[in-house]
Amino acid sequence: MQNADVQAARDGSLVYFSTKSGNTHRFIQKLGLNAQRLPLNREEPTLRVEQPYLLVTPTYGGGYAEGAVPKQVIRFLNDEHNRRLIRGVIAAGNTNFGEAYGLAGRIIAKKCQVPLLYRFELFGTDDDVAKVRKGVEEFWKRQAQSLAT
Amino acid sequence: MTMMQRLSRVDAINWNRLQDDKDLEVWNRLTSNFWLPEKVPLSNDIQSWNTLTQQEKQLTIRVFTGLTLLDTIQSSVGAPVLMDDARTPHEEAVYTNIAFMESVHARSYSSIFSTLCNTRDVDDAFRWSEENPTLQMKSELILKRYRADDPLMRKVASVFLESFLFYSGFYLPMYWSSHAKLTNTADLIRLIIRDEAVHGYYVGYKFQQALAEATPERQQEVKDYAYELLLELYDNEVRYTESLYDEVGLTEDVKKFLHYNANKALMNLGFEPLFPSSVTDVDPTIMAALSPSADENHDFFSGSGSSYVIGKAVATEDDDWAF
């Protein structure tokens, strides 16, 4: 596990989901970090990850906990192997949804006992991109250090 | 100009055969969000209303009258013209929902008026709305695009109305709410704000689909028109904001809220935000009134990160995810 985290630190490993509207995909492209996309089609077999990762997901729905996490993300995390390797979550959303802004991130953080690292709206501003890029790099560095000591 | 493949005939709509599953996703979202003003206990705000000065009351009624005009435009002109441009019967059906909900929004302001205000003040505000040059100008700028034969620019105009033009008005109930005033009215406005987000997102998505099919030259042209329209609306919006908020000293913060939402409107269209973060730093109490969890520190990256604990696996199944 330790080596895997060190490797992940080197790779800046991300897993993400994005619908057809492509907002989260666009955010990931702007980040320019290594990222694997979860299949959009629900019938397709979900991804199986090899190393620790941070999850980036949009929030669905109009403000209720029910349905906030996209089904494809749930299916991915229902695989015990995948869930064991999640280290943190980043959520997209819209403050117009009030209390439910980035709700998917909060639900996953609680469920998987990992920190909600950041929230952004739509495909994120340049500031969001810069903060997340730097934050993700530092996160993996700290992660590798804390495992080395 | 791009040829839009409009629906040439009416066929029975089959929701089990979708050309674009986004239509069903948004339909479900909108219908599960359905609400009516009667569900909000507006009369609980009567006491609070009476604590406002005459000037504050007039400002609030004017702001809501301005919002009523925009909702009326959307339900009677905006959504119907988008319906004409629809590519799938399901898209058309989504616009019928949007048209009706915009009528509900417009109707809600009258519910607020009849609950809180006296008739003469409201009649005065409606007269004001018919004569106010900046309010009339924003209506004209939008209606002109709705009436021109350019389906892409119609969608641009619609997204700017839904995701940008409403916000000079939405600011005020969020401001009152952050001062523990008119809190039930603010709850109603939040329902409207939630709906407008879905409308802006969906019309923006349909815009991006259609734009992707255009030639690169046409794409550039539409993009230029869109930024041009935004700036034209923005200049007018600044004047409208000044005419309303100068006397209560809120203009500068309302402008930040305008910048913040203009960026989101552009993003709904797939375009890059225009205003830098130095001018979008809306007062945190307004952001908290809009999104109560927004003031919680979810920017883990800026913190020390010392609170991080390595996760324990928790067994999860679909049922656990409140689906």
Which pLDDT tens digit goes with each residue over B53-90?
999 999 999 999 999 999 999 999 999 999 999 999 99
Q: Can you give the residue ranges of every domain in chain A?
A: 2-148
Chain CA centroid to CA B232, Å: 18
Please check the confidence at residue B202 and state whether its pLDDT lies above 60.
Answer: yes
Q: Which homologous superfamily is B21-321 in?
A: Ribonucleotide Reductase, subunit A (1.10.620.20)
Please check the confidence at residue B181 and state whether its pLDDT lies above 60.
Answer: yes
Say what the pTM is: 0.92
B234 is known as an active-site residue:
no
Choosing from B95, B109, B201, B260, the catalytic residue is B109
- DSSP-based three-state secondary structure for A53: strand
- For the beta carbon of residue A51, count every other beta carbon within 10 angstroms: 16
Output the six-digit token pair for B146.
Answer: 């709705």
Contact of B182 with B64, CB cutoff 8 Å: no
Q: Which of B145, B29, B144 is nearest to B94 (CA)?
A: B29
Residue A4: what are its φ and ψ, rounded to 5°?
-65, -40
**Cβ-defined contact of A122 to B313 (cutoff 8 Å):** no
Q: What's the pLDDT band for A67 if we cut at 50, 70, 90?
A: confident
* Average pLDDT score over residue span A83-104: 94
Q: What's the pLDDT band for B309 if we cut at 50, 70, 90?
A: very low
Longest CA–CA separation in chain B, Å: 64
Please list, in sequence order, all residues whose beta carbon lies within 8 angstroms of the beta carbon of residue A131, skipping any fewer than 6 positions away: A118, B299, B301, B302
Residue A85: what are its φ and ψ, rounded to 5°?
-100, -5
- Looking at per-residue confidence, does A10 or A29 come out higher? A29
Residue B74: what are its φ and ψ, rounded to 5°?
-65, -45
Q: Which of A93, A97, A99, A100 is nearest to A118 (CA)?
A: A93
Please check the confidence at residue B292 and state whether its pLDDT lies above 70.
Answer: yes
Q: Which homologous superfamily is A2-148 in?
A: Flavodoxin domain (3.40.50.360)
Which range, of A63-72, B70-79, B216-225, averages the lowest pLDDT?
A63-72
**Nearest CA to CA, how far is A65 from chain B (Å)?**
7
Residue of B nearest to A124 (CA): B267
Dump pLDDT digits (tens) for B226-257. Answer: 999 999 999 999 999 999 999 999 999 999 99
Mutate to test the interface with B, among A96, A106, A121, A126 (most CBs of B within 10 A): A96
**Cβ-defined contact of A66 to B322 (cutoff 8 Å):** yes
pLDDT score, position B193: 97
Q: Which residues of A touch B287 (CB under 8 A)?
A: 95
Q: What is the ipTM of this complex?
A: 0.89
Q: Which of B100, B91, B93 is nearest to B35 (CA)?
A: B100
Cα B148 from Cα B48, distance rounded (Å): 45
pLDDT score, position B27: 95
pLDDT score, position B303: 60
